[in-house]
Amino acid sequence: MLKRYYADMVTDAAVPPAQAFRFFCNVSDWQDWSSVIHRAKLLNGDWRKGSLLLFMPKLPGLPPAPLVVPIIEFEQDYRITWGIDLPFMRMLHRFTFTPVEGGSCRIHHEEWSEGIVSLLTLPVAGALRRFNDRFARELAAMF
């Protein structure tokens, strides 16, 4: 199956994983620290598998458009994954917070697609990479 990565980067945060994770989970604050998020919120409660995340990315040349995606994976203080996961097509966005020596953490930020969606996103692949790079760096800068 065709697979394409839009983000696979690691940044460090000078705080424990649980603290970075809690900060990240304040989804309604994303627009305050990220220049690439117009708005974000959880639509049906707290972070958990099956919750719905609404976010409006700011992509160059495009107006902010609402995207609603389900939370596919949620492990408290460790990992969040959202996206579409269908039998022949998936596009996933994952953040993993792991401890490193000295009490800080490493944030692994990934986004990838598999199947037909990999072809459909070809025209915007560069914009997705720039979006993800900026989001990850702005998140890391908060610590």
Q: Please give the Cα distance from 140 to 16 (Å, whole number).
A: 13
Residue 109 is part of a domain; what is its CATH number? 3.30.530.20
Model pTM score: 0.91
pLDDT score of 1 more than 80: no
pLDDT for the residue 123:
84
Q: Comparing 3-17, 30-44, 120-134, which segment has the lowest mean pLDDT?
A: 120-134
In the chain, the number of structural domains is: 1
β-pairing verdict for 105-115 and 37-42? unpaired
Domain hosting residue 98, numbered range: 3-141
pLDDT for the residue 38:
95
